């Protein structure tokens, strides 16, 4: 079993930045790929970014490329999502997830454990 706890969400003006954190506990973290997804009420949860177990391979949704950056610190069992140049359309509940494989994936169904989410609101 793995437990994931997100933090760092909040209210920010357009053009601003936020850094989300996801702390993992339970089963081994450093061998698992991690992903970030987001969801707006009434819409499907969508892929944002993913990182492989060692942190040297990442994937991003086209909508966030060049603005968001995913990283991880295996010594701290934590993955981060740095979000810059935020736009109102980035407003969503952001979830981190982990899968019992080392390779990153952009498919929601590939992930086995999920956090409870943290709300990000970007005002215009």
Q: Which residue has the higher pLDDT, 91 or 28?
A: 91
Determine the average pLDDT of the residues in 11-32.
91
Antiparallel, parallel or unpaired: β 18-26 and 2-7: antiparallel
Q: What is the pLDDT of residue 29?
A: 74
Are the CB atoms for 5 and 114 separated by under 8 Å? Answer: no
Overall average pLDDT of the 50-73 stretch: 97
Residue 28 pLDDT exceeds 90: no
Return the higher-pLDDT residue of 54 and 31. Answer: 54
Measured CA to CA, the distance from residue 47 to residue 39 in angstroms comes to 9
The pLDDT assigned to 63 comes to 98
């Amino acid at each position: 079993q793995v437990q994931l706890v997100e933090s760092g969400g909040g209210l920010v003006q357009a053009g601003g930045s936020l850094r989300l954190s996801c702390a993992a506990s339970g089963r081994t973290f450093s061998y698992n790929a991690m992903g970030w997804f987001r969801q707006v009420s009434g819409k499907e949860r969508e892929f944002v970014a993913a990182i492989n177990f060692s942190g040297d391979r990442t994937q991003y949704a086209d909508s966030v490329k060049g603005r968001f950056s995913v990283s991880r610190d295996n010594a701290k069992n934590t993955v981060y999502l740095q979000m810059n140049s935020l736009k109102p359309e980035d407003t969503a509940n952001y979830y981190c997830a982990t899968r019992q494989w080392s390779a990153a994936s952009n498919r929601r169904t590939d992930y086995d454990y999920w956090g409870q989410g943290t709300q990000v609101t970007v005002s215009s």
